[in-house]
Structure 1
């Protein structure tokens, strides 16, 4: 294990095959170590690059600026003495936020490719544990793995991990939440690499995490030019298309759609076309329009509350007295 600032604090040291134990464990610790399932943090090589993505110029510039902290660390922290004002911040922490399907996860992978490093993707489900004390240990584990492989650490659904700490602790679960948040803060302060958080709900971040993030970068829904570029990229040249299908037409008819929506539209339209035979076994404009309409409707209705109250049971009807006066007449 490395000495100095990157050493895992002893109170969070964990025993694994090939790793030394921190010392004799209590009965409870031994039980948790035995029963708790080992978390498999897999380090992967990035396949997607910034050339594969359709991003606004401002997003690319903001990413480049954040990565300059890593590329020019010695100049910034030694020659220009930024270490005097931020002694523990040797790495770069980036938060990518915005509507679903705008390419946040793909952008995180492209950041790793730009740096020539592998990446380690972590979800809330991987680090959260039902065993007392295991969640903070899992947080330490993923940072240790990232250090060991010099990997970019990517946290998906980061709002679940970086949520606000609880000011009123009323049960052991509340205490565990606060401990986990504190451990995450400590690890971020002592990590020299690159961390990328992705989220659809940045408003749920604890303020202590907000100020530790170097760059907050919003990925917007694509405009007309970006949608045209997306359709051009996402219609494979091998996909048989009717001549009337063009990126220009589709870009005009897909306003409000994200890249992830367009992928789903192409997949569903191709699935409809492949069931046909003969000359009609091509993706027609009608196939794509049907799926665009279905996707637009789903964006309006699925996951959103209804625009007006719906009667689901007679018990939901307010008492008559609330709608009428004492004499039974309607109130004015």
Structure 2
């Protein structure tokens, strides 16, 4: 995870934590933006207390997607997800009829951690998880929780757990490594104190919470051990296996798209060639091939049809980009690594 640390400007080093904990001025701008969005889009406002100087703005969404109808996952990932759902489905049997509640006092909560490569469907699955349960979802990140007032971030965390309880909503924390990261051991600035206070508050609220919370991250290694041990289900989002890729390609190749070759041939060939692709990358292939087909048809003055050759070409292009773009092998110096570990609170 040290590779996630970059050199910027005049060699100044910043970590994942510092990247996501913005200046107070930027937080003020975000607050103004949230207030504007609330007025324009009727975002529901839930102040933690009427007397509070800063009102917290949370967007509660009623999902329109479900796991069975809208999410395509690898077999291994879906099995893990179903086990998380089973705890909710069989809660009465486990905790009341079998009396497991006598030794598991906090068994009413379900804390899930979705981790894996970008583009594997973590955010969509969180929304579909809530949709399958018929519950609203509150989507949050560091931007929604931070405050222009020092010390207010912790109060925002308390407020959102309260709202989730009152509304019976699923809490979803995106880019959770910025929230659940290792607490800073060498606290020298006020912002460091704020980070540690935020994480301590989050730990306490998770202990008290009786609902459903979902965390999602591409960088699970950054989690503090205290958070890892409090999460009941760690669900790894694999890249799509062959069967999942076939379903993804079948979904993307909607019936209205004219194809030169049979659709089954498209699906089989594309699924074989796209091994190692995420669902997001498969969608990107379609975004590239459709205008390409139209452009070539216009140039050749022929009826537009997507050709398998065109799809193969864009798949190759994505593979090339995966190797050549944002995949530098440049290594950090020993000093840079040492500084990075210090910033992340890693001793080894």
Shorter-chain TM-score: which interval?
Answer: 0.7 to 0.9
- What SS class does the counterpart of residue 302 from structure 2 fall into? helix
With over 3 angstroms needed to count, the CA separation of the structure-2 counterparts of 1:18 and 1:223, relative to structure 1, is closer
For 1:164 and 1:59, how far apart are their aligned partners in 2?
Answer: 26
8 Å contact from structure 1 (residues 43, 151) kept in 2: no
Q: Find the partner of 1:288 among 300, 311, 316.
A: 311
The alpha carbon displacement at 1:307 in A equals: 6.2
Q: Find the partner of 2:174 among 156, 163, 185.
A: 156
For 2:152 and 2:48, how far apart are their aligned partners in 1?
Answer: 17
The alpha carbon displacement at 1:63 in A equals: 1.8
Identify the structure with bigger relative contact order (alpha carbons < 8 Å, sequence gap 6+).
2
Q: Find the partner of 1:299 among 322, 326, 329.
A: 322
The alpha carbon displacement at 1:177 in A equals: 0.7
Q: Find the partner of 2:201 among 166, 183, 186.
A: 183
Q: Find the partner of 1:252 among 248, 268, 272.
A: 272
CA offset digits 1:146-191 (Å, max 9, x no partner):
2222111111111111111112221211111111001111111111
For 2:48 and 2:231, how far apart are their aligned partners in 1?
Answer: 31
The alpha carbon displacement at 1:65 in A equals: 1.9
- What SS class does the counterpart of residue 279 from structure 1 fall into? coil
With over 3 angstroms needed to count, the CA separation of the structure-2 counterparts of 1:45 and 1:38, relative to structure 1, is same
CA offset digits 1:196-238 (Å, max 9, x no partner):
1111111111101111111111111122232222211221111
Mapped pair 1:44 → 2:67: no
- What SS class does the counterpart of residue 255 from structure 1 fall into? coil
In the alignment, what sits opposite 2:246?
Answer: 228
- What SS class does the counterpart of residue 213 from structure 2 fall into? strand
With over 3 angstroms needed to count, the CA separation of the structure-2 counterparts of 1:127 and 1:84, relative to structure 1, is same
In the alignment, what sits opposite 2:75?
Answer: 57
The alpha carbon displacement at 1:292 in A equals: 1.3
In structure 1, the gaps of 5 or more residues are 1-15, 23-29, 310-332
Q: Which structure shows the bigger proportion of residues in helix conformation? A: 2
CA offset digits 1:83-115 (Å, max 9, x no partner):
333323411011111111111112212211221
For 2:47 and 2:71, how far apart are their aligned partners in 1?
Answer: 40
8 Å contact from structure 1 (residues 269, 288) kept in 2: yes
In the alignment, what sits opposite 1:125?
Answer: 143
CA offset digits 1:1-38 (Å, max 9, x no partner):
xxxxxxxxxxxxxxx8776546xxxxxxx7xx2xx574
CA offset digits 1:278-299 (Å, max 9, x no partner):
5342222233223212211222
In the alignment, what sits opposite 1:92?
Answer: 110
| Count of matched residue pairs | 283
In the alignment, what sits opposite 1:217?
Answer: 235
Write out aligned runs for 1:141-152 (5 A): 141-152=159-170
The alpha carbon displacement at 1:46 in A equals: 3.3
8 Å contact from structure 1 (residues 164, 205) kept in 2: yes
- What SS class does the counterpart of residue 246 from structure 1 fall into? helix
